[in-house]
Amino acid sequence: MYETFYEMLHTPFVRDIPPGQLYESAAMADTLGRLSYVADRQLFAVVTADAGCGKSTLIRRFVSSLPKEEYIVLYLSDSKLTPRWFYKGMLDQLGIESRFYRGDAKRQLQKEVEIIRGVQGKKVVCILDEAHLLEKETIEEFRFLLNYKFDSMSPMALVLAGQTELWDKLRLQRYAAVRQRIDINCVLPHLDRAETERYIESHLIYAGGRRDIFTDKALDEIYRESTGIPRRINRICDGSLMYASQQNKRLIDEHLVHYVLEHEMLGGERK
């Protein structure tokens, strides 16, 4: 494929780049710092972003940054997550068979967390991904989970991560009791033009090839069409590299990017 043509050691615009090699924007660095605080203080945080803006990347970076000797991370991503399956999913990850009834399973979890905190000396961080798809009953369960020892402490850090509509949902009056317990709200924005260029450059550096494959005007076109959404940047760059290598072009200009957007990308990329 194009990796050989451009003398690359790795494929640049893929999802499985090692966390330490990923581009870190100022907003992502700030959010990672805030989430570290959430983990340390065992708080309740909500992270939202438009689709493709790096929410999953953020979670990977966050989890990889937590020392394994200090934290136990529980991760769930299930659009059909009911309260019972919420507790079962966390207990399964702790190697414990969940009891059938929700109340019993919740008490199991709270007891196990006490053991982890008191005996193992570790803190628990629970991450619920794709949280914008959760139903009302599951969202409301969080306030009961966090109401611990007469509401004097939190048994764990809880991070809800989802698309922008998650916060729109939490603004509804029915979730007022849950919303009042949120300690930190983080929003990942789109990349700006300069960040888009640095993002592309960092991926090319990871790939081990040249950094100057895309001209400045090509970068302008990529930013304009992607609106600074990393997932769309990846698709445009990957498609452009593929087409350029087939045409034996070492340099990618705005005309080539424009052609790829119009003719080569499945379903088009223009909005």
Condensed to tens digits (0 to 9), the pLDDT of residues 96-108 reads 988 888 889 988 9
The mean pLDDT value of the chain amounts to 90
- 218-263 residue pLDDT tens: 999 999 999 999 999 999 999 999 999 999 999 999 999 999 999 8
Q: Which residues contact 100 (CB under 8 A, 6 or more apart)?
A: 84
Residue 153 has pLDDT above 80, yes or no: no
Helices (DSSP H) in the chain: which residue ranges? Answer: 2-5, 26-41, 55-65, 83-93, 102-115, 136-146, 165-170, 176-179, 193-207, 216-226, 230-246, 254-259
**What is the rounded distance in angstroms from the CA atom of residue 160 to the CA atom of residue 139?**
10
Return the pLDDT at 16. 84
Using an 8 Å Cβ cutoff, are 242 and 5 in contact?
A: no
Is the model's pLDDT at 271 over the cut of 80?
no
Using DSSP, state whether 134 is helix, strand or coil: coil
Identify the band that residue 165 occupies on the pLDDT scale cut at 50, 70 and 90: very high
- Nearest-angstrom CA–CA distance, 175 and 160: 14
Task: Give dist(CA 13, CA 19) in Å, integer.
Answer: 14
| pLDDT above 50 (res 33) | yes
CA dihedral of 217, 265, 231, 129, whole degrees rounded to 10: 170
DSSP 8-state symbol, 17: -
Distance CA 128, CA 77 (A): 6
Give the C-alpha separation, 226 to 86, whole Å. Answer: 35
What CA–CA distance (Å, rounded) separates 261 from 210? 23
211-225 burial: b if 16+ Cβ within 10 Å, else e: eebbbeebbbbbbeb
Alpha-carbon distances, residue 182 vs 47, 82, 146, 158, 207 (angstroms): 11, 21, 11, 9, 40
- Residue that is written with structure tokens 């399956």 in the block: 85
- pLDDT at residue 182 greater than cutoff 70: yes
Q: What pLDDT is attached to residue 103?
A: 83
pLDDT at site 49: 96
pTM of the model: 0.88
CB 166 within 8 A of CB 160: yes
